[in-house]
Amino acid sequence: NQCYSCTTCKSADKPLECYIAGLPMETSHHRVEGQSVKCGFGLQGVCCRLCSNGPCRITPEAPHGICGASADVIVARNFLRAVAAGSGCYIHVVETTALNLKETALSGGALKGMNALEHLCQLFAIPQGDPHTRAAAVAQAVLDDLYLPDYTPMKLQQKLSYGPRLAKWNELGILPGGAKSEVCAGVVKCSTNLNSDPTDMLLHCLKLGISTGVYGLMLTNLLNDVMLGEPEITPAPVGLGVIDPDYINIMITGHQHSIFVHLQEQLKKPEVQELAKAAGARGFRLVGCTCVGQDLQLRGVHYQDIFSGHAGNNYTSEAVLATGAIDAVLSEFNCTLPGIEPICDRLNIRQICLDDVAKKQNAELKPFVFEDRERISREILEEILESYKNRRARVPLNLLPEHGNTNTITGVSEVSLKKFLGGSWKPLIDLIASGDIKGIAGVVGCSNLTAGGHDVLTVELTRELIARDILVLTAGCSSGGLENCGLMTPEAARLAGPKLRAVCESLGIPPVLNFGPCLAIGRLEMVATELAQALNVDIPQLPLVLSAAQWLEEQALADGAFGLALGLPLHLGLPPFITGSSLVTKILTEDMKALTGGQVIVNSHAGESADILEQIIMDKRQALNI
User: Which is nearer to Fe ion, 291 or 583 (by Cβ)?
Assistant: 291
- Exposure b/e, 452-466, CB count within 10 A at least 16 = b: bbbbbbbbbbbbbbb
User: Which is nearer to Fe ion, 443 or 470 (by Cβ)?
Assistant: 443
First to last CA, the chain: 47
Of residues 70, 140, 192, 407, which one binds ligand SF4 by CB under 6 A? 192
Strands of the sheet with 234-238, listed across from one edge: 364-365, 350-353, 326-331, 248-253, 284-289, 307-312, 234-238, 405-410
Only one of the segments 38-46, 285-293, 398-406, 460-468 lies at the binding site for Fe ion (rule: CB under 5 A); that segment is 285-293
What does 518 interact with, of Fe ion, ligand SF4, none (CB < 5 to 8 A by kind)?
Fe ion
Are 441 and 620 within 8 A, CB to CB? no
Q: Does 51 bind ligand SF4 (CB under 6 A)?
A: yes
Q: Does 43 bind ligand SF4 (CB under 6 A)?
A: no
- The mark string for 31-70 relative to Fe ion (x by CB under 5 A, - otherwise) is ----------------------------------------
Classified as helix, coil or strand, 312 is strand
Q: Does 188 bind ligand SF4 (CB under 6 A)?
A: no
Q: Does 231 bind ligand SF4 (CB under 6 A)?
A: no
What does 65 interact with, of Fe ion, ligand SF4, none (CB < 5 to 8 A by kind)?
ligand SF4
Give the alpha-carbon dihedral of 187, 189, 194, 196, to 10 degrees: -120
- The mark string for 72-111 relative to ligand SF4 (x by CB under 6 A, - otherwise) is --x-------------------------------------
Q: Does 74 bind Fe ion (CB under 5 A)?
A: no
Handedness of CA 270, 271, 274, 275 (dihedral sign): negative
Element (H, E) at 449: none
Element (H, E) at 337: none
Nearest to 245 by CA among 287, 278, 274: 287
Classified as helix, coil or strand, 318 is helix
User: Which is nearer to Fe ion, 334 or 599 (by Cβ)?
Assistant: 334
Q: Does 291 bind Fe ion (CB under 5 A)?
A: yes
Of residues 3, 6, 25, 67, which one binds ligand SF4 by CB under 6 A? 67
Q: Give the integer Cα–Cα distance in Å for 106 and 88.
A: 27
Are 72 and 584 within 8 A, CB to CB? yes
Handedness of CA 359, 364, 369, 374 (dihedral sign): negative
Q: Does 518 bind Fe ion (CB under 5 A)?
A: yes
Only one of the segments 63-71, 91-99, 111-119, 354-362 lies at the binding site for ligand SF4 (rule: CB under 6 A); that segment is 63-71
User: Which is nearer to ligand SF4, 79 or 368 (by Cβ)?
Assistant: 79
Of residues 18, 20, 46, 69, which one binds ligand SF4 by CB under 6 A? 69
Give the amino acid at 607.
G
Q: Give the integer Cα–Cα distance in Å for 221 and 121.
A: 15
Chain-centroid distance of CA 364 in Å reads 25
Residue 555 CB, nearest distance to ligand SF4 (Å)? 25
What does 8 interact with, of ligand SF4, Fe ion, none (CB < 5 to 8 A by kind)?
none
Only one of the segments 283-291, 351-359, 378-386, 541-549 lies at the binding site for Fe ion (rule: CB under 5 A); that segment is 283-291
Nearest to 46 by CA among 31, 33, 57: 57
Q: Does 54 bind ligand SF4 (CB under 6 A)?
A: yes
Are 355 and 96 within 8 A, CB to CB? yes
Alpha helix stretches (DSSP H) within 323-398: 340-346, 373-391
Chain-centroid distance of CA 3 in Å reads 29
Q: Does 520 bind Fe ion (CB under 5 A)?
A: no
Only one of the segments 12-20, 210-218, 407-415, 515-523 lies at the binding site for Fe ion (rule: CB under 5 A); that segment is 515-523
Q: Does 187 bind ligand SF4 (CB under 6 A)?
A: no
Residue 224 CB, nearest distance to Fe ion (Å)? 13
User: Which is nearer to ligand SF4, 53 or 434 (by Cβ)?
Assistant: 53
Only one of the segments 61-69, 155-163, 270-278, 510-518 lies at the binding site for ligand SF4 (rule: CB under 6 A); that segment is 61-69
Q: Does 45 bind ligand SF4 (CB under 6 A)?
A: no
| Secondary structure of 576-600 in HEC code, one letter for each residue | CCCCCCHHHHHHHHHHHHHHCCCEE
Are 348 and 384 within 8 A, CB to CB? no
Q: Does 433 bind ligand SF4 (CB under 6 A)?
A: no
Classified as helix, coil or strand, 290 is helix
Residue 190 CB, nearest distance to ligand SF4 (Å)? 10
Only one of the segments 54-62, 78-86, 158-166, 516-524 lies at the binding site for Fe ion (rule: CB under 5 A); that segment is 516-524
Q: Give the integer Cα–Cα distance in Å for 443 and 474.
A: 5
Residue 508 CB, nearest distance to Fe ion (Å)? 28
What does 106 interact with, of Fe ion, ligand SF4, none (CB < 5 to 8 A by kind)?
none
Q: Does 56 bind ligand SF4 (CB under 6 A)?
A: yes
Residues 6 or more apart whose CB falls under 8 angstroms from that of 620 comprise 439, 541, 542, 543, 544
Of residues 23, 46, 50, 616, which one binds ligand SF4 by CB under 6 A? 50
Only one of the segments 66-74, 116-124, 345-353, 613-621 lies at the binding site for ligand SF4 (rule: CB under 6 A); that segment is 66-74
Residues 6 or more apart whose CB falls under 8 angstroms from that of 181 comprise 148, 149, 150
Q: Give the integer Cα–Cα distance in Å for 3 and 567.
A: 42
Q: Does 65 bind ligand SF4 (CB under 6 A)?
A: yes
Q: Does 66 bind ligand SF4 (CB under 6 A)?
A: yes
User: Which is nearer to ligand SF4, 56 or 259 (by Cβ)?
Assistant: 56
Residue numbers at the binding site for ligand SF4 (CB under 6 A): 48-51, 53-56, 65-67, 69, 74, 192
Binding site for Fe ion (CB under 5 A): 291, 518
